[in-house]
């Protein structure tokens, strides 16, 4: 839970951040009267020039591209900042009359009444933001390489040939050495294969950087005791959750990452809903990949694996898919429990009991 300062500001500010400019709405905290509505350039100099002249304010803004550096800047100027979760504030996200002025005023009015109405989130530290930037840069390289590989495979198929299955890192070398491809086609594919090779080198370099970053957070070593959870998954898990103690129960982590089914009951109707897919998309994908490994041929015999296999057996056609998601959810819970309890992982703890 986000803690608030005990010093009450006399005024509140709603700040609707934009890429080029941002809208400000300043209210009197007691009466709710609008004191000022103004548009600022979304630059450090402009924001610093405006807020440095004000007495300490209670500022509300939404999470987004500019929210992290803006939060740090406003706090350095002596203001208290509440970062709202936009997916929880339906008055803004689902509004049919959405303008910057209305959004800024709505943020100011909500934070004036009760900051908890904004479902405030704790912003990342600068060190954490830098680490997650490395991870996301690597993710962009992986996506780009995958797109190019699929494009090359499709082009080769259109000529009646087929490239052999291999790892992404070895793809360019295998394609260049394929003797069945016509010389003219190889010449056409050469630029794409060269870029794929360069991207593979950069991805390998990023992997080493991720390993080095994981060593800065020693808890990742404990999380990696689970076979299938590597440095990348452990690091993103730690960076995304931030403070593990903000979750009262480990089970809440599954819901936080969108790995639990939604609910929509009305009268006697209780339909089965898909998972909510809220929270960090990258971490959810990494947990699902780890779940595939746990249930795969190289997975370690463990309570997680036995749970998933039992679920897959009785699930029919989509049993395997549901089992993978269920194991990913359980994996998130186990990782959080290991982090909080500071205990070593026991693969067959339930079986031994």
**pLDDT at residue number 300:** 93
**Under 8 Å CB-to-CB from 166, ≥6 apart: which residues?**
174
pLDDT tens digits, residue range 224-244? 999 999 999 999 999 999 989
Distance (Å, rounded) from C-alpha 352 to C-alpha 308? 18
**pLDDT at residue number 68:** 94
Residue 53 · residue 146 · CB < 8 Å: no
pLDDT top residue among 243 and 92: 243
Which percentage of the chain shows pLDDT scores above 70? 94
**pLDDT at residue number 121:** 85
Which strand ranges, in their side-by-side order, compose the sheet holding 11-16? 34-41, 21-28, 11-16, 58-62, 80-84
Backbone angles phi, psi at 340, to 5 degrees: -75, -45
Reported as a pLDDT band with limits 50, 70 and 90, residue 123 is confident
**pLDDT at residue number 265:** 60
Residue bearing tokens 């997680």: 304
Distance (Å, rounded) from C-alpha 323 to C-alpha 320? 5
Distance (Å, rounded) from C-alpha 105 to C-alpha 34? 9
**pLDDT at residue number 266:** 57
Distance (Å, rounded) from C-alpha 131 to C-alpha 137? 10
Reported as a pLDDT band with limits 50, 70 and 90, residue 267 is low
Pairing mode of beta strands 11-16, 21-28 = antiparallel
Bridge partners of residue 275, in order along the sequence: 261
pTM of the model: 0.85
Rounded-to-10 torsion of CA 154, 158, 164, 168: -20
Is the backbone of residue 258 left (phi > 0), alpha (psi -120 to 50) or beta? left
Measuring CA to CA, how many Å separate 18 from each of 12, 62, 133, 136, 138? Answer: 19, 10, 21, 22, 27
Render 317-329 in DSSP notation, one character per residue. Answer: TTHHHHHHHHHHH
**pLDDT at residue number 269:** 58
pLDDT top residue among 87 and 345: 345
pLDDT tens digits, residue range 25-61? 999 999 999 999 999 999 999 999 999 999 999 999 9
Is pLDDT of 1 > 60?
no
**pLDDT at residue number 97:** 78
pLDDT top residue among 278 and 309: 309
Would you state the structure tokens that stand for residue 310, as one six-digit string?
A: 């039992």
Burial class of residue 186, CB neighbours in 10 A (0-12, 13-18, 19+): middle
Residue bearing tokens 């299955």: 165
Q: Is 2 helix (H, G, I), strand (E, B) or coil?
A: coil
Distance (Å, rounded) from C-alpha 242 to C-alpha 125? 9
**pLDDT at residue number 6:** 47
Q: Is 62 helix (H, G, I), strand (E, B) or coil?
A: strand
Instruction: For the chain, state the CA radius of gyration.
Output: 25
pLDDT top residue among 38 and 6: 38
């Amino acid at each position: 839970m986000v803690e608030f300062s005990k010093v009450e500001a006399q005024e509140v500010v709603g700040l609707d951040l934009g890429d080029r400019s941002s809208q400000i709405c300043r209210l009197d905290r007691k009466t709710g009267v609008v004191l000022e509505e103004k548009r600022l350039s979304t630059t450090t100099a402009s924001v610093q020039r405006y807020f440095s002249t004000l007495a300490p304010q209670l500022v509300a803004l939404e999470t987004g591209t500019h929210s992290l550096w803006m939060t740090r800047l406003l706090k350095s100027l002596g203001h208290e900042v509440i970062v709202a979760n936009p997916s929880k504030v339906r008055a803004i996200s689902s509004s049919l009359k959405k303008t910057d002025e209305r959004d800024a005023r709505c943020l100011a009015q909500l934070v004036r009444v009760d900051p908890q109405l904004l479902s405030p989130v704790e912003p990342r530290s600068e060190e954490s933001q830098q680490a997650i930037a490395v991870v996301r840069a690597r993710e962009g390289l992986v996506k780009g390489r995958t797109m190019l590989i699929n494009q090359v495979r499709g082009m080769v198929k259109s000529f009646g040939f087929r490239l052999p299955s291999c790892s992404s890192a070895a793809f360019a070398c295998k394609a260049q050495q394929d003797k069945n491809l016509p010389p003219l086609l190889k010449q056409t594919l050469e630029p794409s294969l060269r870029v794929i090779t360069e991207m593979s080198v950069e991805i390998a370099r990023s992997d080493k950087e991720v390993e080095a970053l994981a060593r800065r957070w020693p808890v990742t070593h404990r999380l990696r005791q689970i076979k299938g959870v590597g440095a990348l998954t452990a690091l993103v898990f730690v960076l995304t959750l931030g403070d593990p103690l903000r979750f009262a129960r480990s089970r809440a982590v599954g819901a936080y990452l969108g790995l639990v089914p939604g609910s929509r009951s009305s009268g006697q109707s209780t339909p089965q809903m898909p998972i909510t897919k809220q929270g960090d998309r990258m971490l959810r994908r990494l947990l699902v990949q780890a779940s595939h490994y746990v249930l795969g041929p190289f997975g370690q015999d463990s309570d997680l694996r036995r749970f998933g296999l039992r679920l897959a057996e009785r699930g029919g056609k989509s049993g395997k898919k549901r089992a993978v998601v269920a194991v990913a959810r359980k994996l998130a819970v186990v990782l959080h429990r290991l982090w909080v309890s500071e205990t070593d992982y026991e693969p067959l703890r339930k079986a031994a009991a």
